[in-house]
Structure 1
Amino acid sequence: MKIGILGLGLIGGSLGLDLRSHGHYVLGVSRRESTCTKAIALGSVDEASVDTNLLVTAEVVFICTPIGLIIPTVEQLIAYLPSNVIITDVGSVKTPIVQAISSLWDNFVGGHPMAGTAESGIEAAQRHLFVDRPYVLTPTAVTPKTAVNVVAEIVRQLRATIYHCAPEDHDKAVSWISHLPVMVSASLIAACMSETDSKVLQLAQKLASSGFRDTSRVGGGNPELGVMMAQYNRQELLKSLQKYRHNLDELISLIEQENWKVLEEKLQLTQQARTAFVDD
């Protein structure tokens, strides 16, 4: 199959590496000529160009740009594509994207691979990035089943775990387990940096180990991505943040009251609940 990838960063580059390993012919488009050259050299694509015309022969096109560029990119791209081409995206917010593009292009399947690293750019691309990672597809009632099946088969070749859900349900779920952690983690870093005693701050920085590393990782990630999450999933993220603030206030109250018994009970509940979200 001839597959196009528009946006050759970490996700797009990694997709290309795996798709080519399964015998697909991969066409890549990037805004920078230097990225196109690197993508070919790294083996992420068979051909690459800054010109979207390269994708006119593709059967499926993955849009791997930042969230804010997905809709305008598709608006420009569809002028070049035959109507039978399947378009899918990898954005971490789905409702506004699916609503906008589905009205423009019948064969659109919303998608979100839940995979990535702290690195970005084509140089960060790696093989098997999606293995055993969730890959969400968000078809609507009018999405052609044939298009969904084609994208799902490609995802299976990536050895990812496929989930199907409504775009709205996706955005509610990721607000809890992806977007909220970014804001909480960023707040943790900002709170630590508010220490006014420079000696204490420097000591804390030297003593920071696995606990701080684990809880601060996503807050130290790509700022542009964090802003896009907040902008495009604003309402759901606000709900999650408000609920988090309520839980934080409860903890503050318990500590102020020295209610160690109830605090322990609460921590026991969270200890038990965590296993339903992650398996160490």
Structure 2
Amino acid sequence: MKIGILGLGLIGGSLGFDLRSQGHEVLGVSRRESTCQKAIALGSVDRAEVDLSLFATADIVFICTPIALIVPQIQQLIEHLSAATIITDVGSVKAPIVNAIAPLWENFVGGHPMAGTADSGIEAAQRHLFVDRPYVLTPINTTPPQATAVVEEIVRSLGSKIYHCQPEQHDRAVSWISHLPVMVSASLIAACMGETDPAVLQLAQNLASSGFRDTSRVGGGNPELGVMMAQFNQQALLSSLQQYRYQLDQVIDLIEQENWTALEAKLQSTQKARPEFVE
């Protein structure tokens, strides 16, 4: 199969490694010629150019650009494709993308691999990134079953766990387990930096260990990605943030009231619930 990858960063580059290893011909397009050359040198793609016309004969194209660029890039891309070409994306928000692209391109299947690292760029690409990771597909009523089946086959070959849902369901779910944690984590870092005693702040920085590292990791990630999460999943994220604020206010009240019994019960409840989210 001839597979195109638009956007040769962490996700696009990693897809290229795995798809080439299975014998597919992988074509890559990036905005920078230097990135194209690096992708070829690393072995992530067979060919790479800055021109979208490279995808004219592709059977399927994966859109691996930042969220804000997905729709405008597809609008340009479809001028170069045959009607039979399948397009799928890897954006972490689905409803705005699916709603914008479905009327323009029948063979479009929304997708979101729940995989990644703190690093970015083609240099961060790695083999087997998607093994045992969730990969969400969001076909709608007008999506041709054959197009979905082709994307499924490729995703399954990556070793991913496939999930199907409506775009809006996806966005509400990821607002809880992906987008909300970014905002909470960033707020944790900002709160710590609000310490007014320089000696105490320095001591806190020196003492920070695994607990702070785990809870602050996503808040110290790519700011551009965080803004796009908020911009394109605004309503779902606001809803989850408001619920989080409610839960935080409850904890504050229990501590102010010195209601240690109720606080322990709350922590026992969260201790019991956590394994349902993280194995």
**Which residue of structure 1 aligns with residue 230 of structure 2?**
230
Shift of 1:233: 0.3
CA deviation map 1:152-199 (0-9, x unaligned): 000001000000000000000000000000000000000000001111
SS state at 1:4 partner: strand
1:80 aligns with 2:77: no
**Which residue of structure 2 aligns with residue 184 of structure 1?**
184
Shift of 1:92: 0.1
**Which residue of structure 2 aligns with residue 263 of structure 1?**
263
**Which residue of structure 2 aligns with residue 195 of structure 1?**
195
Shift of 1:271: 0.1
Structure 2 CA distance for aligned equivalents of residues 226 and 257 of structure 1: 35
**Which residue of structure 1 aligns with residue 49 of structure 2?**
49
**Which residue of structure 2 aligns with residue 136 of structure 1?**
136
Structure 1 CA distance for aligned equivalents of residues 34 and 183 of structure 2: 33
SS state at 1:269 partner: helix
Structure 2 CA distance for aligned equivalents of residues 22 and 211 of structure 1: 40
Structure 2 CA distance for aligned equivalents of residues 224 and 149 of structure 1: 33
SS state at 1:162 partner: strand
User: Within 5 A, what are the aligned runs for 1:1-280?
Assistant: 1-279=1-279
Structure 2 CA distance for aligned equivalents of residues 19 and 209 of structure 1: 38
Report the TM-score when normalising by structure 2: 1.00
Structure 2 CA distance for aligned equivalents of residues 48 and 79 of structure 1: 19
One-letter amino acid of the counterpart of residue 276, structure 2: A
CA deviation map 1:11-69 (0-9, x unaligned): 00000000001110000000000000000011100000001111111000000000000
SS state at 2:141 partner: coil
How many pairs were matched up?
A: 279
Shift of 1:123: 0.2
Structure 2 CA distance for aligned equivalents of residues 57 and 122 of structure 1: 24
CA deviation map 1:123-158 (0-9, x unaligned): 000000000000000000110000000000000010
SS state at 2:120 partner: coil
Report the TM-score when normalising by structure 1: 0.99
Shift of 1:113: 0.1
Shift of 1:112: 0.1
Shift of 1:263: 0.1
Q: Percent identity?
A: 76
Q: Could you list the runs of 4 or more consecutive aligned residues of structure 1 that deviate by over 6 angstroms after TM superposition?
A: none
SS state at 2:276 partner: coil
SS state at 2:267 partner: helix
Structure 2 CA distance for aligned equivalents of residues 86 and 266 of structure 1: 48
Structure 2 segments unaligned to the other structure (5+ residues): none
Structure 1 CA distance for aligned equivalents of residues 59 and 162 of structure 2: 21
